[in-house]
A and B are shown apart, each in its own frame.
Chain A
Amino acid sequence: MHVSLNELTSLSRRALEGVGFPPGEFEDAADMIVWLEQFGLGGTKLLAKTLPRLTTEQWPAVQKLYDDGGGCVVLQIENGSLLQGGSLAADMACTRALADGLGVVRLSGCRDRGFILGYLARCARRGYHMTAMWCVGEPRRAIQNVATATGHPTLPTIRRYRADGGGEQMADTHTLTLIATRDFALMPARDPAANAFELLEEITPNELAARSRLAWDQGVDVDADLWSKLQALAAVKLVEATPESRARGAGETRQ
């Protein structure tokens, strides 16, 4: 199924609204999905994987487990999807960064963490330097994803590392760590001597911009089955037509 980005945005928003996402959240979640798709990072494939759970779960409560009153906060999302309000963790990091120079928020019990890429650029255009880190795979041989977005209206740099600690490190594969600052000097930097982190992939802002242009010019491909499922979810919010609604509801007859 070949679709325009606007079609994908519109249908994703309405489908998530149909699932029960509240106003504001269904737009943010859809925009994160579309952001990944627009930049060639597989947003709809990730969505296809998580959609069955999204449609059967209650909206997860986000609880604060720890707050040092300064720059450090730990939140718990009860194994919910990042799409279910997880972007607020990044907003929390920004808030603490503004107050204390550096904000570090760990969102534990969170799945679908890759979607956070779609929110980093929004934080960056508000003037924040952002770093997001999360590990996937087996805890003993995890891949660590690191994304950084610097504070101006541009695109993030995305890096993926193999976080292999010589078989001794147990990676936490259910937590997203977000670091925000308005001071570039406080951005975390990789130690060149840290051989345990092998750079697997790096996507530069230029590469992302080229992918984006392609998507705007040519549209994107979406799995037909996923598209049908999204249409069905969006249809939940549609009201069956009756002769009465056809005439009076749309104003064909004078009121």
Chain B
Amino acid sequence: MTAVKRIVSTQADNPRPETGRVSRRPASEVMQLERLGSLHACRLSFIRTLMRKVMAERWAIQCRVFDLDEKGYGTCIYRIATPTQLYSLVIFSQYLDPSLRSDRVIANAWDCAFALCMGDVDDDYLDVLRENVPRQEAGRCDPRVLVLSRANRSLRNFDMVVNALAAGQKPDPDKLAKVGYLYRTTAVYGNGKFGIADYPRIRDSEDFGLPFSAQMFAVFLLRDFSIRQVEHIARCQAPDTATTLCSPLRRYLGIGNSTGLGMAPFLINHPALINQWLLMREAAIARCLSQTATAEHVEQLCALLAQAQQHTAETTTDDERQTQLNHQLEQELKLAEEWLKETGIPDQIMSDRLWQSLCEKAQREWSLEAQELIHSLLMEVYPEQTDELEQTMAATDEFDLVPEMSTDELIERLRRDYDWALAYDFTQPDETHLFWYRSAEKEEPRLGERHVDPGEDREMPLDIARQASGLYSALLNWETAQGKCTPVVEFLLANPQYKGITRRTQGISELAYGEIRANLLAKGTLPIHLLRCKLAFFGATKFDPRSDRWVRITLFQGAPCIEDIGSAFADDWWMPLKPAL
């Protein structure tokens, strides 16, 4: 084919951090769906980053209004002073008919609703918020609101904790180990939803510029509210006998979250951001693997492995598959600990590549969960290699067409970057068994079975593998018909239906970790892997799948409480263990 004259390739401005002598893992390994669904939280997870910032900058957080009745219903306002700004978190707690309590996004009422706002909130604005925040999607907010969210009480814990405190007793830590929270959020909205502030308004701010940091901060304050609220209700119930939560239990309480398929399209529609998250994680792993192990480091990792075993043993779920994975993980972590203790630091050569040897052994012999958790633990050993990468976790998903690229070049890029997609045979019914659609009920994304469920004519375009495959065939046909290659713009003038996947293919060349390498239409696809990947970056622990499309997790369990701000902070709160009282 005739070559087209020149190519201008759009260069991503995302940084490529140095990794030392060990290279980052290839995308063909990292971006497998099942591996992404085995990720664990790490030092780069957003709640870890947030806590480091809050503690280092000593944010001043004050509960300014706590106007609750004896049942805990009413209004609570927090005032937050960061080094540069004032914010308020306004929480409305209300009675909820138990029959209406649902974690689904299609619910219309919740135990509490809250909003993180810029600046102070006066009485007039409080009235506006009271009118709209409890209605969530049905209300309208304005750009003073940064985050809008709601949460439901944990039926298993809330009354148990209130009753124990009212009786002057400590709540049973075993029960808190099973469910480590009093409230579970069911959606946390940011970025312009329902009239609130667009993300670019805060993107350049000192406080909440990193991804999801404002949302995570709102959830962090809800945790404090949940503790204050149960203590308040207990006090009202039994003023003479009521006690408060002891410090270890306060820290052991996190906030739950229930997540469904709504999270899945985000991962497909933000390839630049996903690439950035994984690029930083992989860079951190490579840097840690490059380090020369010392006896002290080995001892540190052994201690972390032991802690992780116990944390995993204390993680319970009704899901059979996850239960088996947890058991296997616990055993493999023990094997890793034993191997490290036996191996020790025999000589210089071994110590130079001890971590690589450990990870190679994990890859050969142990589960994906074990492999990825060991990576997370290694980052704990080398915070100085990891933490600076948190500043480059943001990216903007703006792809421009490269119209002058030749169709030959585009075909080559498809063969190079989408070889995994071209390997699927989409004439086989099993490869298109599923389809994604948006329900009329609150536009909730759902999965349907093709030729069985209604809606395949309104399928969401999350079928990246199939689109890439279609583009490849169309380009070959185009070149045959034209008798030559042409600039892509000529192809698109005649075939506008391929513009989206063409631009994505061109852009993804700069983003090695931008594309999840799976056909999401295939029979047997487990969407829960997508959810877990994103939740691990949030910092979630205790994954509790409720089905293959819906998961509950815990955030901030073990994190410092607001009364800890200003005290020494060891940043070792991740993977907390049940307090021994």
Q: Are B446 and A216 in contact (CB under 8 A)?
A: no
Asked if A235 meets B489 with Cβ closer than 8 Å, knowing A217-B201, A250-B549, the reply is no
Q: Determine if A52 is an interface residue (Cβ-Cβ < 8 Å).
A: no
Q: Which residue of B lies closest to A63 (CB)?
A: B493
Q: How far is the CB of B324 from chain A (nearest CB, A)?
A: 15
B97 close to A (CB within 8 Å):
no
Residues of B397-449 contacting chain A, CB below 8 A: 400-404, 437-441, 443-444, 446-448
Q: How far is the CB of A137 from chain B (nearest CB, A)?
A: 29
Q: Are A239 and B447 in contact (CB under 8 A)?
A: no
Q: Mark A24-35, 1 if CB is under 8 A from B, else 0.
A: 110110000000
A-B contact pairs, 29 of them (CB 8 A): A2-B142, A2-B195, A4-B195, A4-B198, A5-B192, A6-B192, A23-B499, A24-B498, A24-B501, A25-B500, A88-B496, A91-B489, A92-B493, A94-B404, A99-B4, A122-B400, A126-B402, A216-B198, A216-B201, A217-B143, A219-B198, A239-B438, A239-B440, A245-B453, A245-B455, A246-B441, A249-B439, A250-B447, A251-B260
Q: With A4-B198, A98-B6, A255-B547 in contact, do A249 and B492 touch (Cβ < 8 Å)?
A: no
A226-255 CB contacts (< 8 Å) to partner B: 235-242, 244-246, 249-255
A24 touches B547 (CB 8 A): no
Say yes or no: A251 contacts B496, CB within 8 Å: no
User: Which chain A residues lie closer than 8 Å to B493 at the CB level?
Assistant: 62, 64, 75, 85, 88, 92
* Interface-central residue, B10, B446, B454, by most chain A CB under 10 Å: B446
A22 at the interface (CB under 8 A from B): yes
Q: Give every chain B residue within 8 A of A159 (Cβ-Cβ).
A: none
Residue from the list B400, B403, B437, B497 in contact with A92, Cβ < 8 A: B403
Enumerate chain B residues within 8 angstroms of A217, measured Cβ to Cβ: 143, 201
Q: Separation in Å of the B12 CB from the closest CB of chain A?
A: 13
Q: Is B261 an interface residue (CB 8 A)?
A: yes
Q: With an 8 A cutoff between CB atoms, is A3 at the interface?
A: yes
| Additional A-B contacts beyond A95-B489, A240-B455 (11; CB < 8 A) | A5-B192, A5-B198, A6-B192, A6-B198, A7-B193, A28-B499, A245-B439, A249-B447, A250-B446, A252-B546, A254-B548
Total A-B residue contacts, Cβ distance less than 8 Å:
167
Indicate if the CB atoms of B261 and A250 lie closer than 8 Å.
yes
B450 to chain A, nearest CB (A): 13
Interchain CB contact under 8 A, B403 and A253: no
Which A-B residue pairs are the 8 nearest by beta carbons? A251-B549, A24-B499, A6-B192, A24-B500, A4-B192, A239-B455, A23-B500, A249-B446
The answer for the CA separation of A255 and B549 in the assembled complex, in Å, is 9
* Contact residues, B188-224 vs A (CB, 8 A): 191-201
- A126 engages B8 (CB within 8 Å): yes
| A24-B502 in contact (CB<8A) | yes
| A 94-109 to B, binary, CB cutoff 8 A, 1 in contact else 0 | 1100110000000000
Chain A residues with a Cβ closer than 8 Å to the other chain, count:
50
Alpha-carbon separation in the docked complex, A205 to B341 (Å): 64
- The 0/1 profile, CB within 8 Å of A marked 1, for residues 177-197 of chain B is 000000000000001111111
A161 in contact (CB, < 8 A): no
Which A residues are in CB contact (< 8 Å) with B500? 22-25, 27
- From B6, B197, B547, give the contact of A252 (CB < 8 A): B547
Knowing A6-B193, A24-B503, A250-B444, say if A255 contacts B548 (CB, 8 Å).
Answer: yes
